[in-house]
Every structure is written in structure tokens, then in C-alpha cells.
Amino acid sequence: MQSINTDPQQFSQVGYCLFPHVLTAQEAEATRCMLDEAMAAPLPALPGRDGEPQRPGYVGEPHARDLRWLELCRHPRLLDAIETILGPNLILAFSSVFVKLPEAPLKVAWHQDNTYWPSVHGTDVITLWLAIDDADAENNAMKVIPGSQRGWREMDTVEAGENHMLSKSVAVTVAQERSAVALEMKAGGLSIHDSFIVHGSDANPSARRRAGYTIRYCSTDTAWVDMNEHPVPVFLVRGEAGSRGQGYTNLLPEVEATRRLLGYPPSL
């Protein structure tokens, strides 16, 4: 079995990197509490999407609905980890929480993330998977097929079928499936994977929940978002917005609008 990659320098080769300890125990517990709240009482609806049905085991775009989740998305240690992969110019495009309840049949078929993002263009686009609960072999942590992102090829998709959290899947070979590695981590750890890498996870047969916060970032050096097609605001979280970033919302710390957006008092 392949060893798990924890070296950002190997990202371009294998397509993923694990960062085992990023949030403190207190920060991880606060994130679990935020998720518990979101599951007990729905977050405010996104503009223009009142009455949208909730999918089981899914919290969509919490960063655009609750400022605490937005603050988490720009946590300095998260951005530091991303910068080792994408460089210093970063935008936040999407986020969602996937929750596999104990002994639930839902699984995630082999897929590529970019399939679901028609408004996002370019190659340096990643998903950060933050462990809200411990993810391990018992509750079926996410698996990736190392190197399957090389060439940035978008694969043909088919319908995933019943008991799947996502609607689309891609075909993999027996050899690819055997090469897959499970990204086991404690709550507060995270992994980063390329948007073209093939990945998925099996159902959770354990007595424990398995929840992960997936946050999608891009480098503005090589990627951009078409704001005419994008369903939520795009936030500049570090560095420069790039030549196509006029429609992004600037969340850099020195911007006064950021303080108001995140509920801070005006600076003196």
C-alpha cells in the first residue's frame, strides 16, 4: 500500500496532500458545534433560493450563509496550507459540508470535483477537506487515486444511482481502484486535493458520524470564476484578485468592508 503524501512538493505528482494537525482541539470542537447547530436548525437561505429543499447529509454554502463559516474559510492556518500548494493569490469559490451519519447507506462514487463547477475555469483549483469528525477506516474516510489528475482531463460521467450523495460518477479501472489511498485524519486535520483527481468514499457502517467540510479555492494566477454563472459570491482571501477578479468580494484583513461583513467594529 502506498504511504500517504504529506509533502506539498509532491502535490503536482500525486494530486493531493495531507496536513494532519491544523486546527487546535478547541477550534475543532467549535467547528463541530457549528455543524450541530446547522443540522438542528437550517441556516438562512441564500438570496433567491428560499424554499430550496435540504438534501440529507449536506449543508450547502455555509460560508455564504453564516459569517462564522466564512471566518473559518479564511483561517490563517488553512490559507497557509493552501498557499504551499497554490501560491499566494487565493479566492474562495464554494463550500459544503458532507455528513455521513452512523450506519447510513449513503456513499460518494468515484468522481472529479470540477464536473460540478461549470463557472470555474482554469487548472489551479483545489478542494480542501477539513475533518469535523475523525475520519478513519472504520467510518470509511475519503479515498483518492494518486496521479489521476495528471493532464487535467475531464472524464466522462454517468449517473451515480441510488444511495449516492452526488449525482455523477466516473469509471475507474481495477488497477486504479487498487492504487487508491484512504486519507485518515483526526478532527482538525485536513487534506487538499486537485479538482481533477478521482476520489470517493464508501458508506459509513460504524456507530460514529463522519463529517467533512469541503472548501473550494483557486489560484488567481491561472484560474478565474465567471460571476455571471456563479451562484454565490467569490471571496478574495489572500493576495491579488487577478485580471478577471473585478466581481470578487475582497476579504483581505486590511479592507474596511471586511470588518463590517464579519461583524467587527469599525477600525479607528
How many Å apart are CA 223 and CA 211, to the nearest integer?
A: 28
In degrees, to the nearest 5, what angle opens at C-alpha 104 toward C-alphas 100 and 110? 65
Q: Over the stretch 61-86, which tens digit does the pLDDT of each residue have?
A: 999 999 999 999 999 999 999 999 99
Q: Does 53 have pLDDT greater than 70?
A: no
Residues 6+ apart with CB under 8 A from 34: 62, 66, 68, 69, 72
Which CATH number fits the domain 11-45+53-261, given the four candidates 3.30.160.20, 1.10.150.110, 2.60.40.3500, 2.60.120.620?
Answer: 2.60.120.620
What count of other Cβ atoms lies within 10 Å of the Cβ of residue 5? 20
Contact by Cβ (8 Å): 6, 81 = no
pLDDT mean over 89-109 = 93
Q: Which amino acid is at 34?
A: M
pLDDT mean over 160-185 = 84
Q: Over the stretch 239-264, which tens digit does the pLDDT of each residue have?
A: 999 999 999 999 988 787 777 777 77
Q: Does 204 have pLDDT greater than 70?
A: yes
Cell of 147: 496521479
pTM: 0.92
Contact by Cβ (8 Å): 186, 105 = no
Q: Does 196 have pLDDT greater than 60?
A: yes
